Amino acid sequence: MRVSTIAPIPENEMDRILNLYEFDIDYSNIENTFKDLSTLAAKISGTDISVVNLIDSYTQWSIASFGLEVDQTPREDTICQFTILENEHFEVEDLSKDIRFNSKSYVDSPLSLRYYFGVPLKTNAGHNIGSLCVLDKNLKRLSPEKIEMLKIIANEIITRLSTIKVVQDLKNKLKSDKETNKKVAHDIRGPIAGIIGLSEILKDQAAENKLNDILDLVNLIHRSGRSVLDLADEILSEKRISKPNNEDDFNLLILKAKLLKLYTPQAKIKDIHFVVNINEQQKSIPFAKNKVLQIVGNLISNAMKFTNQNGDVIVNLDLTQIDNKLNLNIVVT
């Protein structure tokens, strides 16, 4: 009987992918968050290598590692594609004797890997979005105590991912509230300015006719309107000040650099000519990074999967403004 080297797709694959995308992870800039945990996993298990992986539709992204320099691997070539099918763990005592893996490059020299043990990274929603795995050149067996400690580390990885998501969601909410405040300030500025203008006319007329009671009332209206107008101007002035991009902002230049870093290795594997073009006139305009990498990356991975060797994958990025909203235009061919 022929055994497939590609794991079956999980029944909940679409929900699993959506759950992964909810974390909005920048795979090119997160290693330091989990480096200590990958090191700890290797020390506990006594293995040469430990890797923290997240798996999307086409790619296994290695976001932290110990003993092995690796950024990404095609999902179909990984061992961890089988780990995410399990509830507890997935173990291969000898990769060279398992027909699912014995023809893979990591079993041959120079890596010559033999032992694998992986724990799925299960989210609070119950989806396995990746794995914590340990590997070694020698045959091994892990004790139940070490297995439990690896599971604790896997839980800590999910806890950190969830914490990052909570912080990012809070930042997005604060930014959204700030934009709402600006809109409210803009909406009230016009009517208040009109009231102040009218109060100034009444004030002049009252002064000329010596209507002191009316003058006191008009002065009160004028001062109240002036204070609200000053508050509106203070809020709106933040919009006029040119500020540098913060860590939560992208622009077309940053997005291009990240896409080239993340997907050029995939292109090289298939000898695909990979190009990212941007509108130079719009290259420095900041925009929120919210799930942009996941959306564009999925389009690129899909294009590369179905592009023949020596073919082209060209990405064109542009920004347009419609009804005071900034739109990111993405074309992948």
Two tokens, residue 266: 């995939």
pLDDT interval class at 112 (50, 70, 90): very high
In this structure, what DSSP letter does residue 140 have?
-
User: 68 lies in a domain?
Assistant: yes
Per-residue confidence band for 225, with pLDDT thresholds at 50, 70 and 90: very low
Tell me whether residue 6 is in a domain: no
Q: Which residue has the higher pLDDT, 294 or 223?
A: 294
Q: Considering the chain, what percentage of its residues have pLDDT values greater than 90?
A: 34
Of 210, 240, 270, the position where a domain reaches its end is: 240
Q: Are residues 96 and 130 in the same domain?
A: yes
Q: Helix 292-305 and helix 252-269: axis angle, to 10°?
A: 30
Among 3-12, 69-78, 189-198, the least confident range: 189-198
Which residues span the domain enclosing 321?
Answer: 249-332
CATH number at residue 68: 3.30.450.40
Count other C-beta atoms under 10 Å from residue 311's C-beta: 15
User: Which two three-digit tokens encode residue 171?
Assistant: 């930042």
Residue 192, pLDDT > 70, answer no
Do 265 and 222 share a domain, yes or no?
no
**What is the total count of domains within the chain?**
3
Per DSSP, the three-state class of 42 is: helix
Query: Within this chain, do residues 103 and 199 fall inside the same structural domain, yes or no?
Result: no
List residues bridging with 136 in a β-sheet.
Answer: 115
275 occurs within a structural domain: yes
Same-domain pairing of 226 and 318: no
Q: pLDDT tens-digit profile of 116-156?
A: 999 999 999 999 999 999 999 999 999 999 999 999 999 99
| Kind of pairing between the strands at 90-92 and 72-74 | unpaired
Q: Which two tokens stand for residue 56?
A: 């999307």
Residues 125 and 217 in one domain: no
221 and 301 assigned to the same domain: no
Specify the higher pLDDT residue, 207 or 162.
Answer: 162
Mapping DSSP to helix (H, G, I), strand (E, B) and coil, where does residue 295 land?
helix
Mean per-residue pLDDT over the chain, rounded: 79
- Would residue 236 count as lying in a domain? yes
Which pLDDT value is given to residue 240?
44
Q: Does 320 map to a domain?
A: yes
Rounded (to 5) percent helix, strand, coil in the chain = 50, 20, 30
Q: Are residues 254 and 236 both part of a single domain?
A: no
Are residue 119 and residue 225 in the same domain, yes or no?
Answer: no
Q: Do residues 226 and 258 share a domain?
A: no
Is there a domain that residue 47 lies in?
yes
